[in-house]
Amino acid sequence: MTIDFKGRVAIVTGAGGGLGREHALALAARGAKVLVNDLGGARDGSGGSATAAEAVVAEIRAAGGEAIANGASVTDFAAVQAMVQQAVAAWGRVDILVNNAGILRDKSFAKMELADFELVVDVHLMGAVNCTKAVWALMNEQKYGRIVMTTSSSGLYGNFGQSNYGAAKMALVGLMQTLALEGAKNDIRVNCLAPTAATRMTEGLMPEAVLAALKPEAVVPAMLVLAAQDAPTRTILLAGAGTFEAAHITMTQGVWLGNDAQTPERLAERLAEVTDRTGDQVPQSGSAQGSNEVTKAMENLARK
């Protein structure tokens, strides 16, 4: 089976360099028409220039592909709506959205200014929300859509100095969970990609030999699978240095303790049982938690 994107239209945000550039080039190489979005700002989000996006468009065109550039900030919903209209005006539809744009403002939480927390959340979370909202009605109407959110191990598992980034990245997983449910009836599949890659965002953080192994292009196969016609949905793929993993948000079987004056003490005593992962499950929706709790309660109360 060959994954191809002939006849498909893709928007990739933050595609002027690093991982986004590799995403855009790979989609174009496999037949997609690509809108290359990049504000062209610095790693911390300051400044802006359309030059980076235009350079990637030139690369795609030189290789025989079709692409257009866009310099919108993903934080500006009106500009994002215009970006989607630009793609529709050029090619009539939007099939794929790769939410990749991001910035870093790393500091320990104690030293972090709230403005830096808010800006990172605005770019990563609200930027993805803006772009997704701008294509959502279109994808519902055409009964087809593939959306890839860029999450991170910093959100899934934590990383010192990245409370803002981690919070935003984990929020994208929550966004994916619900949008995948809401989009299912119209074949809109929504997934998350957690990349480990040496880019402008990570330079200076790792030794040279490690950076060499973590080429951005090694992450791209996971994006292509998540954006393909046969893509899964509600899947979190992790990728780096040629290795691919999946992350799951699981729920343990739990223990019914009832609810009386001694319940806090009993919970403390049996916490190891409550957190025991034997037989844990990946709930298909949030209602699974309530179902598990009520079922256990009814079973135990029936025994009394």
The 10s digit of each residue's pLDDT in 279-300 is 999 999 999 999 999 999 999 9
Backbone φ and ψ for 35, nearest 5 degrees, come out as: -90, 120
Q: Residue 42 has what pLDDT?
A: 57
pLDDT category, 99, cuts 50, 70, 90? very high
Total-model pTM = 0.93
CA distance 152 to 195: 6
Distance of CA 206 to the CA centre of its chain: 23
pLDDT category, 37, cuts 50, 70, 90? very high
| Helix, strand, coil percentages, rounded to 5, for the chain | 45, 15, 40
What are the CA-CA distances from residue 137 to residues 89, 90, 109, 144 (Å)? 16, 18, 38, 11
| pLDDT surpassing 60 at residue 32 | yes
The residue that leads in pLDDT, 208 or 261, is 261
Q: Residue 200 has what pLDDT?
A: 60
Q: Minimum mean pLDDT among 37-41, 53-57, 162-166: which range? A: 37-41
CA distance 84 to 79: 9
| pLDDT surpassing 60 at residue 44 | no
pLDDT category, 12, cuts 50, 70, 90? very high
Q: Any idea where the domains of the chain sit in the sequence?
A: 9-247, 263-303
Q: Residue 212 has what pLDDT?
A: 80
Position 284: which residue type?
Q
| Dihedral sign from CA coordinates of 16, 93, 183, 246 | negative
What 3-state class would DSSP assign to 8?
coil
Q: How high is the mean pLDDT of the chain?
A: 94
CA angle, 199 then 204 then 207, to 5°: 95
- By CB atoms closer than 10 A (0-12, 13-18, 19+), residue 142 is middle
Residue 147 token pair: 């959306």
What 3-state class would DSSP assign to 296?
helix
Q: Tell me which of 156, 165, 175, 236 is the catalytic residue.
A: 165
CA angle, 253 then 254 then 260, to 5°: 155
Q: Residue 112 has what pLDDT?
A: 97
pLDDT category, 211, cuts 50, 70, 90? confident
Residue 256's nearest CA partner among 279, 274, 269 is 274
Position 42: which residue type?
A
Active site residue 157: no
List of residues 6+ apart from 65 with CB closer than 8 A: 28, 29, 32, 33, 34
CATH numeric code, 9-247: 3.40.50.720
Q: Residue 267 has what pLDDT?
A: 97
- By CB atoms closer than 10 A (0-12, 13-18, 19+), residue 296 is middle
